[in-house]
Structure 1
Amino acid sequence: MTIDELLTTTRSVRKRLDLDRPVPIELVRECLEIALQAPSGGNRQGWHWIVVTDPELRGQIGDYYQRSAQAYFASGVSGAHLYKDDPARAEVQQRVSASAVHLAEHMGEVPVLVIPCIQASKLPEGNQAGLWGSLLPAAWSYMLAARARGLGTAWTTLHLAYESEVAELLGLPGDVRQGVLIPTAYYTGDTFKPASRLPLDDVLHLDRWGGPGAV
């Protein structure tokens, strides 16, 4: 596929993850080798990658994820409650929410769970963009590389409500912080296409907020 196609069709895959087909660890390693080419602040490369394939560990992580997801869905602030005054967008949100519920119920069954982490003695106060900007581009590169190899992924963070419990489960040092949980599996079907998005001019601001060219 072209670069533009890769960038515009790498979707969050939840219901269509193949839970029964094993994923070769060599394929995951290929994706991670590409991820390591991402930029990091000061070229520190302070990232670490936890790849979980053990069924028992995956199940325990899945339990934490589902527990957090249930609280989130019951909170009234999940995506399912957004844009109720816009029927078209509300319908999309319902589909997204249904797929998120499905993933929460099956997270522990996904063949590979990848947890990108970054080494930090303590989280900085105030804006943390400098820290996470040295990890999240690499995590997205991993997801793009996975898509190019026929693997589906999804960006999830609900497990972070139990970050310390998951850290203890996986034996993470105290100065290693988790950034995201990326379920990874082959996907069923191949009909991914660009998603419906707000027009660029609705979110574009030139030079300053509300300045010339802003809409």
Structure 2
Amino acid sequence: MPGQDMNMAIQGKATVLAVGTAVPPNIIYQSDYPDYYINATKSEHRTELNQKLTRICTGTMIEKRHFYLTDEMLKDHPNLATFKNPTLDNRNKLLAPGVTNLSKQAAEEALKDWGQPRSKITHLIFHTATGSVDLPGPDYQLINLLGLEPTVNRYMLFYNGCYAGATLFRLAKDLAENNPGARVLAICSEISLGFFRGPAEGAIYRYSCWSGFVR
């Protein structure tokens, strides 16, 4: 949450005034992930796949994954666990609210940490690569969910990938330093449900390493 505050920063320089984070509540430990994936995609007959996933998961040194995907979602949308079946509509229906709700949780934490009236927020920057197929967009929805002023200047960024955070802060710094009194709420919200699907030969690495929020 970059902005200017005369009591906390040198005049003219952007300063991070508060930080908030949020992760999906569903946790899967890395040691359990091969079995989880095999069961979710009904691939029990592929013993070589389980062995390969186990080697990959062990080598990543990741402790756990925070999943937005749940057993209930897979039950209601079984095509998510296949490789070739059409799934775009179902994924978007799940991703759009998930991205928005996750960003709301992180923003509420940052605003609480900041401790100032949210009416002072002047700019909102929002990035997502996984919840962008939704109108009105998550930036507009977040204005209402957080009770921000309708006059807040909104900026949406899409598909910046792994460098999204740096891009967000570069824009936030520019806005804060060139708009006296600016308070910029910058949010990056991603849910990797779009990458979860059934196995295909030659694509195992993708589905084992990018199927959930990693922490």
**TM-score normalized by the length of structure 2:** 0.25
Q: Based on CA coordinates, which of the two structures has the bigger radius of gyration?
A: 2
